[in-house]
Amino acid sequence: MAITKSAKKALRQNLKRRERNSQKMKKIKNLLKEARSLILEKKTEEAKKLLPTVYKFLDKAAKSGLIKKNNAARKKSKISKSLNKT
């Protein structure tokens, strides 16, 4: 348990950041899952409309350090590649 005042504040900050980060990661995972399901169902037009949103969230997550830059690039590449195959 935190004893000093600064350690208590750091603990509060970490809890807030953890909650915010988990919400962002959940949003990214849901978007990727939705895009994959649209591609599997051959709904390419809807998937293409969703693609900029997926890119936006991945880029923001990479910029803020939530995920690494290459991780975001890899996910974007994988989604666009599977979309182009259909």
The 3-class SS string of 48-81 reads: HHHHHHHHHHHHHHHHHCCCCHHHHHHHHHHHHH
**pLDDT, average across residues 1-19:** 95
Q: What is the pLDDT of residue 2?
A: 87
Q: How far is 66 from 80, CA to CA, in rounded Å?
A: 21
Asked if residues 76 and 60 have their Cβ atoms less than 8 Å apart, the reply is no
Residue 9, pLDDT score: 97
Q: Which of 35, 31, 62 is nearest to 47 (CA)?
A: 35
**Is the whole model's pTM more than 0.75, yes or no?**
yes
Instruction: Please name the amino acid found at residue 76.
Output: K
Q: In the prediction, which pLDDT does 1 show? A: 83
34-61 mean pLDDT: 95
**What pLDDT was estimated at residue 86?**
83
